[in-house]
Amino acid sequence: MRIIIESDAAAAANRCAALIIDQIQKKPDSVLGLATGGTPVACYQVLIEMYQEKLVSFAACKSFNLDEYVGLAGDHPQSYRHFMQTNLFDHIDIDPAATHVPNGLAKDYEAYGEVYEQQIADAGGIDLQLLGIGTDGHIAFNEPGSSLGSRTRLKTLMPETVQDNARFFESIDEVPRLAVTMGVGTILESRQCLLMATGSHKADAIAAAIEGPVTCQNTASALQLHRDAIYVLDEAAASGLKRQAYYRSSEEMHRKIVEQGL
């Protein structure tokens, strides 16, 4: 794993955006896995600014989002489809038909999960998957106890997740208790995983994911098994890591290697 520790949340957002742009520049028709929640908004804002400055184009890209609330139509103001339109898609040149967000109104979620998996496969697989992390260590809506080999499916949300997401709704009673989500196994098939975390409230989850055992009780820990996983953290989110000095020196060495073209 590559651990990048930035000074603050803004610097972390800039670094994440730079890594995504680098992926698109290397492969203009990249398949991007995208995330929702509070953390990636700043990254998306940087991507929008870079697009407006004509430094990147998303015209040939495809995207697949991690998850969606069950029971919310795409035009619901708290749906993840609406989130993506508002915070990214409406402001860049990506083809609307190339953007995929799970259907929160599917009739048969077992069958729908297979359809979503096939759509990803038909697109050639995900080149870069952007991830956030919950305070309990979950990625997407793969709550603690989720199988590390899981696929896209229906998932019941933990009370802690409902509480964390209540800030986006008028009351906690309005927060859906079910979601359709990519599985951990689905995520691990991405060619590169990029997890962004900011804030001291994520420090314990990050420390467990990076330096703890691989366990379904912290599904982000499964990224230890991935061949190309990158964590981009601010100082606060990294504060629980015991090997910070090594991660910083390793990233400095990575920078020098890139500069020297080795």
Q: Residue 205 in contact with residue 134, Cβ under 8 Å? A: yes
Start-to-end C-alpha separation, the chain:
19
Which CATH fold would you assign to the domain 2-260?
Rossmann fold (3.40.50)
pLDDT tens column, 48-78: 999 999 999 999 999 999 999 999 999 999 9
For 133, the token pair is: 């992390």
User: Alpha helices of 147-224 — where are they, by DSSP H?
Assistant: 159-165, 184-188, 203-211
C-alpha angle 143-109-184 in degrees, rounded to nearest 5 = 35
Instruction: Report pLDDT for 148.
Output: 98
Distance CA 250, CA 262 (A): 15
Percent of the chain with pLDDT strictly greater than 90? 89
For 204, the token pair is: 């314990």
pLDDT tens column, 126-180: 999 999 999 999 999 999 999 999 999 999 998 988 888 888 888 899 899 999 9
Q: Residue 146 in contact with residue 183, Cβ under 8 Å? A: yes
> What average pLDDT does the structure give for the chain?
96
Instruction: Report pLDDT for 168.
Output: 84
Mean local confidence (pLDDT), 209-226:
98
The answer, yes or no, to whether residue 232 has pLDDT greater than 70, is yes
Q: Residue 84 in contact with residue 65, Cβ under 8 Å? A: yes
- DSSP letter at 246 equals H
Q: Residue 34 in contact with residue 131, Cβ under 8 Å? A: no
C-alpha distances (whole Å) from 27 to each of 21, 30, 50, 118 are 10, 5, 17, 22
Q: Cα torsion for 76, 136, 15, 214, to the nearest 10°?
A: -130
Mean local confidence (pLDDT), 1-29:
98
pLDDT band at 260, cuts 50/70/90?
A: confident
The answer, yes or no, to whether residue 207 has pLDDT greater than 80, is yes
Find the helix or strand (DSSP H, E) in which 132 lies.
Answer: none
Q: Residue 106 in contact with residue 150, Cβ under 8 Å? A: no
The answer, yes or no, to whether residue 261 has pLDDT greater than 80, is no
For 45, the token pair is: 């804002």
Q: Where are the domains of the chain?
A: 2-260
Distance CA 105, CA 81 (A): 12
Instruction: Report pLDDT for 164.
Output: 83
Neighbours of 156 (CB within 10 A): 12
Q: Residue 43 in contact with residue 13, Cβ under 8 Å? A: yes
pLDDT band at 262, cuts 50/70/90?
A: low
Q: Cα torsion for 212, 215, 218, 223, to the nearest 10°?
A: 80
Instruction: Report pLDDT for 43.
Output: 98
Nearest to 25 by CA among 47, 42, 43, 3: 47
Query: Among all residues, which ones are annotated catalytic?
Result: 67, 136, 138, 143
Mean local confidence (pLDDT), 174-198:
97
Nearest to 189 by CA among 68, 62, 80, 33: 33
Mean local confidence (pLDDT), 22-30:
98
